[in-house]
Amino acid sequence: AAVKDPTAVERANLLNMAKLSIKGLIESALSFGRTLDSDYPPLQQFFVVMEHCLKHGLKVRKSFLSYNKTIWGPLELVEKLYPEAEEIAASVRDLPGLKTPLGRARAWLRLALMQKKMADYLRCLIIQRDLLSEFYEYHALMMEEEGAVIVGLLVGLNVIDANLCVKGEDLDSQVGVIDFSVYLKSDDDIGGKERNVQIAAILDQKNYVEELNRQLNSTVSSLHARVDSLEKSNTKLIEELAIAKNNIIKLQEENHQLRSENTLILMKTQHHLEATKVDAEAELQTYKHSRQGLDEMYSEARRQLREESQLRQEMENELVVQVSMKHEIELAMKLLEKDIHEKQDTLIGLRQQLDEVKAINMEMYQKLQVSEDAMKDKNEIISRLEDKTNQINATMKQLEQRLQQAEKAQMEAEAEDEKLKQEYVNKSESLQNEFSQKEKQLLQLETDLKIEKEWRQTLEDDLQKEKETVSHLRIETQEIVNLKKEFLKLQEKNKQLKRICEDQEAALQELASKLSESKLKIEDIKEANKALQGQVWLKDKEATHCKLCEKEFSLSKRKHHCRNCGEIFCNACSDNELPLPSSPKPVRVCDSCHAILIQRCSSNVP
């Protein structure tokens, strides 16, 4: 036959002991009420078994003074693997009475049981076997399948509520010895199964109600968080809408101002153009009249030249007249040149006005770009609520296209003033259409906000209903807790009464045994008295020595006289004592006849 592996046998034994201790702890907790103290024996045995399981296969670590072999090292790894265990590790390190790593490990196990997370913590350890190999041998229980089975059994301990005081206990010097007598069955356990089943059913109902309360509390908290987020989003949207409305109002005011400025500029340009047209027409008429006069003078000069050949004398006079006429013509030409320069100045002024109009248009374009950027930001914010922002983006793209068209139109407006007027009119109409579209979009957003407010009111109504249900469930749980407290009080009274009855029965048994012994001794004494009747007592003067030890009587060795046989003994030889119910102290008895001895003084004092 193949020899069994001793480490496998040890693992199997520890697994069986863990099963028995966990099963016994759960069953005893069901009968006791599930809320356990640190003095509860099955709970102490459970911690001892867990220590043995965790110590199995531990590697010996060398230190400066000696070799170290404790379970605190692997348990200290849990806070790195499971972040929720950091609180337990910190509280264990801060405990003042713990001096050894073993005491810290015991405190850690007790705190993990109170948190109902011992199975989760040990499961994290078992999964990380690479880290466990630093502390355990390859054949250890925590490295094999038995460790996973024990972790699965520990999940059942979540039913138990433990109230353990770790601060005042001496966990460093406790001796971990497994008491196997706890796991032996008795007749009382078999008889009380029905009561345990009823108690377990009541406690299961209580746990079910507690779990329902936890779930409802979690749903209520999630709904509260959702409502808070919705309120924050609604407030943000309302603020953003107010800001958008203010910006739109400002843009409308700026648009009205720009429109009024454009109309004033157009009126001024029209007046200037009309004045320049009238001046140009007057100048043209004067130029025509002057040209006709020059033509006439030229014909007269021809005539005069023809006549000069005939009449030189008249020509000299006429030359003087012509010189004067030439001076006049030169003056007229200078005047025409001045008029031409003035017209050029007016054209330059008109061009400057056109440049100013262009600059105003550029400023308008920049303001429109700024407003477009603001609208883009607002559209990005509003896009979180609904898909209607796509329409706004489309309108913004149309605005950009129209603005590009307006730029092209402005480039063409340098050539013709009439086209600029038409483009300004078209732009004003397009802006009006766009503002009307934006107003429609604002109306749509207001309707959406109203819908969201109605939805929020429905959610608040649902929350109120759920709060009412939660309050009803809390009242029911309070009633169940009160019933549980009353049940625990009745159990404690029952246990006290049982203890009193057991003590009284034990006292009666002891009294009966003592009475039976005293009766037997009294009967023996009576028989001895009957046999020794007729004997004569010795006198005190004659009795100088003890009959048994044959030593002389003195103050330390006092005389004890037998009533029946009359013999006298010392206090050292008469050691037989008999308890009597009538006397508080036991009575000395004669060795020969078993009669009661009477103490006598060695002197003559009676």
Q: Evaluate if residue 606 carries a pLDDT over 50.
A: no
User: What share of the chain in percent tops pLDDT 90?
Assistant: 2
Instruction: Convert the pLDDT of each residue in 518-550 to its tens digit.
Output: 888 888 887 777 765 655 556 666 677 776 777
Q: How confident is the model at residue 288 (pLDDT cuts 50, 70, 90)?
A: confident
Work out the number of other CB atoms within 10 angstroms of the CB of residue 225: 10
Instruction: Convert the pLDDT of each residue in 551-560 to its tens digit.
Output: 777 766 666 6
Instruction: Convert the pLDDT of each residue in 120-129 to its tens digit.
Output: 899 998 998 8
User: Which residue is it, tokens 């005539």?
Assistant: 303
DSSP per position, 179-230: -GGGGS--HHHHHTHHHHHHHHHHHHHHHHHHHHHHHHHHHHHHHHHHHHHH
Half-sphere exposure of 211 (CA within 13 A, CB side): 8
Structural domain includes residue 590: yes
Query: Alpha carbon of 1 to those of 7, 12, 591: distances in Å?
Result: 18, 19, 68
Q: Is 77 helix (H, G, I), strand (E, B) or coil?
A: coil
Structural domain includes residue 57: yes
Structural domain includes residue 117: yes
Q: How confident is the model at residue 405 (pLDDT cuts 50, 70, 90)?
A: confident
Structural domain includes residue 560: yes
Q: Which domain holds residue 567?
A: 545-599
Instruction: Convert the pLDDT of each residue in 467-487 to its tens digit.
Output: 888 888 888 888 888 888 888
User: Which residue is it, tokens 């201790």?
Assistant: 21
What's the pLDDT at 560?
65
pTM of the model: 0.35
Query: Alpha carbon of 237 to those of 16, 376, 444, 456, 587: distances in Å?
Result: 65, 15, 14, 14, 104
Q: Which phi and psi (to 5°) does residue 577 adopt?
A: -125, 150
What's the pLDDT at 600?
47
Instruction: Determine the Cα–Cα distance for residues 258 and 360; give it in Å rounded to an integer.
Output: 9
DSSP state of 539: P
- CATH number of the domain enclosing 577: 3.30.40.10
Picking from 164, 183, 202, the residue at the C-terminal end of a domain is 183
Structural domain includes residue 500: no
Q: Is 331 exposed, middle or buried (0-12, 13-18, 19+ CB in 10 A)?
A: exposed
Structural domain includes residue 553: yes
Beta partners for 597? 562
Average pLDDT, the chain: 79
CB burial of 86-117 (b: ≥16 within 10 Å; e: otherwise) equals eebbeebeebeebeebbbbbbbbbbbbbbbbb
- CATH number of the domain enclosing 97: 1.20.58.900
Give how many domains the chain has, as a whole number. Answer: 2
Instruction: Convert the pLDDT of each residue in 577-594 to its tens digit.
Output: 545 445 555 556 666 665
Structural domain includes residue 587: yes
Picking from 183, 216, 244, the residue at the C-terminal end of a domain is 183
Picking from 183, 215, 231, the residue at the C-terminal end of a domain is 183
Instruction: Determine the Cα–Cα distance for residues 162 and 164; give it in Å rounded to an integer.
Output: 6
Structural domain includes residue 350: no
